[in-house]
Structures are given as structure tokens and as C-alpha cells.
Amino acid sequence: MTQWKERLRVFLFPPETDVWLGLLRIGLGLQVLFYALSLRADWNYLFAGPGEGLIGRALPEALLSTESPLIPRLDWLVMLTTRIGFSESTALSIVWWVLLFAGCCLLIGFFSRASAILAWFVHLCAAESGGFISYGVDNFMTIGLFYLMLSPLPDRYSLDHRWRKLRSKNPHLLGFFRRVLQVHLCLIYFFGGVAKCLGSGWWDGSNLWRALIRPPFNLIAPEILIRLKYMFPVAGIAICLLEISYPVFIWNRKTRGIWLMCICAMHAAIGLTMGMYLFAFIMIVLNTAAFGPDLGLAPSEKLVRATLS
């Protein structure tokens, strides 16, 4: 029993440098910036009050209230801003600027933890209030920002470290947060792969066909897709196998690089063929931060990662 406890402790708290944390912070900073800029033209239209926007935030927030009054939503921030004397339109614009500012601060590592908390909260409010238009990218942004704000920031590449001389000195705590992210990704891919295997749509390629011809994701001309129809079953089966075997091969040092490149290539292909660039980018960021820094490590874990740098 003591031996198993020690193995579990070693697995959960390996000594790590903060390279992975720097990759995660910079990647998520870029993701928040891209997310905010992509919504700039339609921000007020998507989140305006009743009768002023596409759907507005009133209906999604009303549904949220039936689940729990404690779920964050944009209405909290809008009400806080309008009480100061701003109009609702101005209040929504201020919220957008706050999100953009938090992304910039994350990117350069200025007040890293406060910026991560702010970005997580504002993005979560927007994702929950836009429940009818949000999709996988919002879920994974929430996950990434949540882990980032809890992690032992700042990292070595941040302005907080260079100017304020702040940096986490606990390698085992850094290792714990990275390990949790790694295990979480393994669970996501494994159960995603199992769910795909249970249906016939991925085995015969029909799910891929439907995804590529459905607006607004139909970037590839139908005549090209028809010529490539024999590739769909092969691609579908490959995706199922890649995801379901992810927890096995991503841990093995000999296969980690291959599986990481394959999974990143899969997400890049999704982004390029369906226009889901933000989704592709966040998945590449999470995978690279979780498993990228120690590619090629071996001899005594590179002397315990160069004596923890």
C-alpha cells in the first residue's frame, strides 16, 4: 500500500519547470485576443437586450436562472456598468474592452493571475449569456483559463518575472497542475473517441460528409468533396482510433511526438476545412502546453529538467 501511495505521489507531483505554463499563458492570451477581435463587429448585436439584437441575452439568461442564479452572465456586468450612468450599448462595449485588455495582459504576462481571473470570468459570462451561439471553443477556453488562473503564476517569460522578479519556485506544484491538465485531455479524447465509435457515422464517413457540407462550415466545394468521398471512411476511422488511443500513446516517450503532431494536425485540418480557426487554435495550445515541452526528454528526465532551470 505504501508503495502504491508513493507511486501516486510521484505521478501527481512530478518536478517540472514553468515552460509549459508560459506556453499556456501566451497561447491563451492570443486565444482571448482572437476571440474578442472576431466578435468585435457583432458583440453588441449578439448580446444586446430584448428587441435590439439577433437573439439577445435575455432568453439564455432566463434559462440560466432556472438552473441556478449563481451562474455568471453578462447581465451582471451590464447592470453594474449602467448603474454608474452608462447606456446598455456603452456597457457592452466596456465589457468587450475589458476582455481585450485581459487578453493583452495575459499575452505579455502583466499581473498574470489577476488577468487570468478577469479573462476567465468575462469570457464565462459571455459564453453563458450566448448559450445559443456558443460551441466547443467556449468550453475549452473556459477549461484552459480556469487551469491557468489556478496555476502557480507567473512564469519565467512574463513581465511579472522580468520586472517584478516574481516567479513560482515550487517545481512539484507546477508538476501537479500540468499533470491535471494532461489527465483531463486524456479523458476528453478517450471518451470523445468512444462516443464516435458507438455510432456508424464515423465508420462510414457520413458524419464527416455532413459536417463539411453544412453551412457555414461548407468552405470546400461540393464537387471536390464528391471526388474525395472514398477518403471519408478512412478519415473517420483514423480520427476514432487517434482519439481513443490518445491516453495510451501520448504518455509513451517514443510515440508522444507522433501522437502530438497527429492530434495537432487533425485540429489544424478542422480549422482549415471548416473555418473553425479558434477551436483549432485552443486545442493546439492545450495539447502543446500539456505534452509539448518535454518531447525528446529521457536521460534522467534531462537531469531533472536541468536542475529545474
Residue-level pLDDT at 305:
52
Per-residue pLDDT at 303:
45
- Rounded distance, CA 304 to CA 256, Å? 19
Residue spans of the domains in the chain: they are 16-169, 186-309
158 touches 25 (CB < 8 A)? yes
pLDDT at 54: 62
Angle of CA points 15, 17, 21, to nearest 5°: 120
Within 10 Å of residue 249's Cβ, how many Cβ atoms? 16
pLDDT tens, position by position, 251-274: 988 899 999 999 999 999 999 999
Amino acid at 287: N
Which pairs count as long-range contacts for 115-119, CB under 8 Å and 24+ apart, including other chains? 116/25, 116/28, 116/145, 116/148, 116/149, 116/153, 117/149, 119/28, 119/32, 119/145
Residue given cell 491535471 in the structure block: 180
- pLDDT number for residue 70: 84
Backbone angle region of 284, left / alpha / beta, with phi > 0 → left and psi within -120 to 50 → alpha: alpha
* Phi, psi of 43, rounded to the nearest 5 degrees: -55, -55
| Residue ranges in the chain modelled with pLDDT below 50 | 297-301, 303-304, 306-308
pLDDT tens-digit readout, 81-114: 888 888 888 988 999 999 999 999 999 999 999 9
d(CA 211, CA 106): 34
